[in-house]
């Protein structure tokens, strides 16, 4: 009986281990398929209008998306045509995982906001970017992949740290295809963009 029990155990463990390894391999390949090849490019200065919000990193999916209709409503009420897709800009994060963020839309020129909507701009410079296709749940993988690509290519993200707060020069998510455009989440497209340090060629 002990031999039989041992056989049953071994017969169960080895297939499970194989399934686990194959599952992880398949999952990694799935993420590869969901991500474009990263690239770097120079971008001109771009203006925008946005709502600023400080939010815990775990609350981003709950707090920030509802601000998009507010921004679009403000644009419409003021007769302003947005330029490009809506975006989330992550400016800094502290030791408590609180993000200083903005939700906005691009504009054709430098405009004036009000007490609710603030004017800003993405500085001219070299940016690294990657496009994630699929549900927003996978965006963290896109951020990690871009971070790794930057390191592997001897580039540096523009970032500073002071008093336990990390300040990014520009970490942006542009929602190229979102739920308003496409109900199928597998077809959503998000461009993740990091501003890089200017490094002599």
78 and 23 assigned to the same domain:
no
pLDDT tens across 89-144, in order? Answer: 999 999 999 999 999 999 999 999 999 999 999 999 999 999 999 999 899 999 99
Please tell me whether residues 78 and 140 are part of one structural domain: yes
- Residue 133's CATH number: 3.20.80.10
Q: Which of 168, 189, 5, 15 is nearest to 94 (CA)?
A: 168
Same domain, yes or no: 26 and 97: no
Q: Which residues contact 152 (CB under 8 A, 6 or more apart)?
A: none
> What pLDDT, on the 0 to 100 scale, is given for residue 99?
97
- Quick one: 146 exposed, middle or buried, by C-beta within 10 A (0-12, 13-18, 19+)? buried
Q: Are residues 161 and 108 in the same domain?
A: yes
The verdict on 151 and 131 lying in the same domain is yes
Distance of CA 50 to the CA centre of its chain: 17
Residue 199 has pLDDT above 90, yes or no: no
pLDDT for 14 beyond 50: no
Question: In whole angstroms, what separates CA 123 from the centre of its chain?
Answer: 18
Q: If you search the block for the tokens 């871009």, which residue do you land on? A: 146
| Structural domain of 28 | 1-34
pLDDT in tens, 35-77: 999 999 999 999 999 999 999 999 999 999 999 999 999 999 9
The pLDDT of residue 33: 56
Asked whether residue 57 is domain-assigned, the answer is: yes
Domain assignment present for residue 114? The answer is: yes
The b/e string for 1-12 (b: 16+ C-beta within 10 A; e otherwise) is eeeeeeeeeeee
Q: Does 128 reside within a domain?
A: yes
Read off the pTM.
Answer: 0.82
Whether 201 is in a domain gets the answer no
> Is the domain of 84 the same as that of 110?
yes
């Amino acid at each position: 009986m002990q031999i039989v029990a041992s056989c049953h155990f071994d017969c169960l463990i080895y297939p499970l281990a194989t399934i686990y390894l194959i599952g992880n391999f398949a999952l990694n390949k799935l993420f590869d398929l969901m991500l474009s090849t990263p690239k770097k490019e120079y971008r001109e200065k771009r203006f925008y209008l946005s709502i600023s919000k400080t939010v815990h990193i775990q609350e981003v999916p709950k707090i920030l998306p509802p601000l998009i209709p507010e921004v679009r409503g403000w644009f419409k009420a003021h007769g302003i045509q947005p330029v490009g897709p809506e975006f989330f800009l992550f400016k800094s994060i502290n030791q408590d995982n609180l993000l200083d963020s903005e939700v906005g839309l691009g504009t054709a020129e430098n405009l004036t906001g009000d007490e609710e909507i603030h004017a800003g701009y993405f500085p001219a410079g070299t940016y690294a970017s990657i496009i994630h296709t699929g549900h927003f749940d996978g965006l963290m993988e896109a951020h990690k992949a871009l971070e790794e690509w930057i390191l592997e290519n001897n580039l540096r993200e523009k970032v500073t740290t002071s008093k336990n707060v990390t300040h990014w020069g520009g970490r942006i998510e542009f929602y190229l295809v979102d739920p308003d455009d496409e109900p199928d989440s597998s077809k959503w497209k998000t461009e993740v963009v990091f501003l890089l340090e200017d490094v002599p060629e």
